[in-house]
Amino acid sequence: MKLKKVIKWTGIAILVALVLAFLALFIAYWRSTNECFRNAGSVNNPMKAIVHCEYGSPDVLKLEDVEKPVPNDNQLLVRVRAASINPLDLTIRGPWLIRPILGMRKPKDTRSGVDYAGVVEAVGKNVTQFKPGDEVFGGKNGALAEYVCVLADRSVVLKPANMTFEQAASVPVAAITALQGLRDKGKIQAGQKVLVNGASGGVGTFAVQIAKSFGTEVTGVCSTRNVDLVRSIGADHVVDYTKEDFTKTDQRYDLIFDLVGNHSFSERRHILNPNGICVMAGIGGAGWHDGMGIRLAGELDAYVRSRFVSQKFISYIAQFNKRDMMVLGDLLQSGKMTPVIDRTYKLNETADALRYLEQGHARGKVVINLE
Ligand SMILES: NC(=O)c1ccc[n+]([C@@H]2O[C@H](COP(=O)([O-])OP(=O)(O)OC[C@H]3O[C@@H](n4cnc5c(N)ncnc54)[C@H](OP(=O)(O)O)[C@@H]3O)[C@@H](O)[C@H]2O)c1
């Protein structure tokens, strides 16, 4: 009798919770709006920016007049001279899994881009590290625009004089991903054998060079057309994945930096030394491609199974910070790292640039020039 009551009330509680959750999602969906609709037609001091009011393919991107930002006491106003795009900019498609963060029905943040390089136009009264005229690069949401306002103590640093704006703008997201993956997650050490799977893309071309800067022996994995490119940026060995499976070998690595995730836990474990680390940084080139779901499941499986073996399988999301931006600046300044730029587009061609990136076969970085 008692058990029956417990079951009945548990059922009712679950039903009520489900109805409430559905209602909350329904309300969140229909309340979801953005500045396109709130501020329509009210721009006082305009600048050009890439804006998307709706989710969808790169076709939803528009070049529009938006309010030019005004720096507060702790910010710099930067005139953007170049920006670059990354797979994360494809969140314009509004994947349902992350819509609770991005906005349920419409994107909360209508601006795009993160990586930029440009010239400081004005500084807030508390800013002492920068002055108007300084050339800088960094990461800030909404970088696909004529101007960005950035906090002086965040991820903005002086641009090395030996780098063009396009080169510097190609660095932030991709290179910080490579640096933090190799150094912090992979515990990279001089003399180690390192394999970079996906060595020819935006992150991979930085990963090869950063791994070399740590004094390691680097093997890059790429397709036939990119073999020479990957060798030219310093890889000691190159595996052409169209001809050879890098897991079917007697070679052992101390560190795998994996941007593709197209091999199983067992296959990768087979080529790792007993205390080796596999850093699972990505699941292939930008855009939707076959087998992505399987790759994601495979990375989760590898993470769980590696709890029970001596090798580590780790995933992570890169985070901006000024200290690492300065490390990247030093690598550029010293010539240990030189960006590989695949294609350059104008700001009004951003949709074409994203369409190209989305094919998943960029060779290095895709850059937007605002000069
Ligand atoms: N964890 C993080 O915080 C973080 C941050 C940034 C990016 N990511 C992820 O890292 C991955 C790479 O980003 P990205 O900016 O480098 O993308 P990307 O520039 O679009 O990468 C394109 C490259 O991937 C290569 N590729 C595709 N399939 C391959 C395969 N089977 N084997 C080897 N290489 C292959 C392509 O070479 P081919 O043309 O020769 O096939 C191309 O050169 C993405 O999954 C991205 O989401 C993660």
The atom number, within ligand 1, closest to the CA of 88 reads 47
Spacing, Cα 260 to ligand 1 middle (Å): 6
Spacing, Cα 79 to ligand 1 middle (Å): 30
CB of 222 shorter than 6 A to ligand 1:
yes
Nearest CA to ligand 1 atom 34: 198
CB of 86 shorter than 6 A to ligand 1:
yes
CB of 201 shorter than 6 A to ligand 1:
yes
Spacing, Cα 106 to ligand 1 middle (Å): 27
Contacts of 18 (CB under 8 A, 6+ apart): none
The atom number, within ligand 1, closest to the CA of 365 reads 19
Predicted local distance difference test score (pLDDT) of residue 270: 96
The atom number, within ligand 1, closest to the CA of 363 reads 43
Spacing, Cα 201 to ligand 1 middle (Å): 5
Report whether 50 contacts 112 (CB < 8 A): yes
Q: Kindly state the tokens that stand for 193.
A: 């054998």
Q: Which three-class secondary structure state does DSSP give residue 32?
A: coil
CB of 75 shorter than 6 A to ligand 1:
no
CB of 361 shorter than 6 A to ligand 1:
yes
Q: Outline where the chain has alpha helix (H).
A: 2-31, 35-38, 99-102, 165-169, 172-179, 202-213, 227-232, 265-270, 292-305, 322-333, 350-358
Predicted local distance difference test score (pLDDT) of residue 371: 86
Comparing CA positions, the residue from 254, 246, 298, 257 lying closest to residue 272 is 254
DSSP 233: T
Q: What is the pLDDT along the chain (371 residues), one digit of tens a residue?
A: 688 888 888 999 999 999 888 888 777 777 777 778 665 667 899 999 999 999 999 999 999 999 999 999 999 999 999 999 999 999 999 888 888 899 988 999 999 999 999 999 999 999 999 999 999 999 999 999 999 999 999 999 999 999 999 999 999 999 999 999 999 999 999 999 999 999 999 999 999 999 999 999 999 999 999 999 999 999 999 999 999 999 999 999 999 999 999 999 999 999 999 999 999 999 999 998 888 889 999 999 999 999 999 999 999 999 999 999 999 999 999 999 999 999 999 999 999 999 999 999 999 999 999 98
CB atoms within 10 A of CB 368: 27
* CA dist list (Å): 298 to 66, 95, 167, 267, 313: 43, 20, 35, 11, 11
DSSP 66: E
CB atoms within 10 A of CB 157: 23
Q: What is the pTM of this model?
A: 0.92
The residues pairing with 148 across neighbouring beta strands, listed in sequence order, are 78
Predicted local distance difference test score (pLDDT) of residue 34: 74
Predicted local distance difference test score (pLDDT) of residue 97: 86
Spacing, Cα 198 to ligand 1 middle (Å): 5
The atom number, within ligand 1, closest to the CA of 203 reads 16
Spacing, Cα 241 to ligand 1 middle (Å): 14
Spacing, Cα 286 to ligand 1 middle (Å): 6
Report whether 104 contacts 28 (CB < 8 A): yes
H or E, element range at 240: strand 237-240
Predicted local distance difference test score (pLDDT) of residue 36: 80
